[in-house]
Amino acid sequence: MTDPNPDLVLVTGGSGFLGAHCVLALLNAGYRVRTTIRSPARAADVRAQLAAGGVDDPGDRLEFAIADLTADDGWVDAVAGCRFVLHVASPFPSRQPKDPDELIVPARDGALRVLRAARDAGVERVVLTSSFAAIGYGHAPTDRPFTEEDWTELDSGRRISPYVRSKTIAERAAWRFVHDEGGALQLATVNPVGILGPVLGPDVSASVELVRLLKEGRLPRLPDVRFGIVDVRDVAALHLLAMTRSEAAGQRFLAIAGEVMSAQEVALLIRGHLGEAAGRRVSTKLMAPWMLKAAAPFSRRVRDSLPDLGTVRRASAQKAISVLGWSPRSREEAVIATVDTLPTYHPRRP
């Protein structure tokens, strides 16, 4: 084992929405970056997204490693010589699978593969991209904001989606590994809510897909759902703070910009931003609950959304703000940045 290069950082999943922004933020901060991709062909996707973000030629400050969350091959080489690891890659399907293990196993086992390889390579700290999904679900209704002290209650008897289960189980497994087997390896986690912001390429979040559907007028009526929003640039910035600040070791950090927004509020914001002509297609009408319930037997996506109807899950980013000095953009700016960068790209399905 060689001493880690103080300037070399591994980002897993650099071709993804958040992964590409993390690579971009690291390069702009002067780091050398190695990023994992599942096949050599994805290198061109990463470079194209960096160019869209303003970095046309990173030169020898960017390199690639072939590795997949579902296999051991490649991870030793991926982490070799790295001081830090941002483990961003995680399965995020466009719809929930019938078998929860399709998400849980690669999320949990992939995180453990990365952590084990990082420990063996002498990596100083891993920052794991978790989610608000690992914090705010399975609880009785409450008006108080969720914080990093909360964990999703998987055995509460309330309906929990496979995605929420996967993020909770993966993060718990990561903390348990570092506690029991991590040695000197440090861990921090970032737990964002719905991520929006500048779209650099075809791989986008489910939140971006919602904005695209609203902008294109493909949602004639909106479900009565509310969710937190954070800009992808600020989530990337929080990863760098969690990577470098000594206070971040062993800590979780929620990422949210202000209060939650309803789907109707997001639609109104988009409609106003687009102007009278282009905004006319954006519907702001709510769907009656009985309509969703009637459609539930015929659509798994509708069934998955029913537990969230009318539910408000507030969250606080005070810890990231006070401990790390994190300063996020407004939720409105995140929505508008998404709208303004969507026209060129067509989301790629997982």
- Measured CA to CA, the distance from residue 79 to residue 36 in angstroms comes to 10
Under CATH, to which class is 5-341 assigned? alpha beta
Find residue 115's DSSP bridge partners: none
Using one digit for the tens of pLDDT, what is the confidence trace for 222-235? Answer: 888 899 999 999 99
Domain ranges within the chain, ordered by starting residue: 5-341
Mean pLDDT for the chain overall? 90
For residue 50, the one-letter residue type is: L
* pLDDT band at residue 304 under the 50/70/90 scheme: low
Helix, strand, coil % in the chain, rounded to nearest 5: 45, 15, 40
User: For the chain, what percent of residues have pLDDT higher than 90?
Assistant: 77
pLDDT (0 to 100) of residue 308: 66
- Measured CA to CA, the distance from residue 260 to residue 230 in angstroms comes to 10
pLDDT (0 to 100) of residue 343: 62
Using one digit for the tens of pLDDT, what is the confidence trace for 134-167? Answer: 999 999 999 999 999 999 999 988 889 899 999 9
pLDDT (0 to 100) of residue 291: 66
Q: Return the structure tokens found at 9.
A: 């950082």
Using one digit for the tens of pLDDT, what is the confidence trace for 30-67? Answer: 999 999 999 999 999 999 999 999 999 999 999 999 99
pLDDT (0 to 100) of residue 224: 87
Q: Which residues make Cβ contacts (< 8 Å) with residue 276, sequence separation at least 6?
A: none
Most confident of 186-190, 205-209, 275-279: 186-190
As annotated, the active-site residues are 167
pTM of the predicted structure, to 2 decimals: 0.92
Q: Which residues make Cβ contacts (< 8 Å) with residue 340, sequence separation at least 6?
A: 198
Kindly state the average pLDDT of the residues 255-283. Answer: 95
Kindly state the average pLDDT of the residues 231-251. Answer: 98
Least confident of 24-33, 196-205, 295-304, 313-322: 295-304
Coil, helix or strand for 127?
Answer: strand
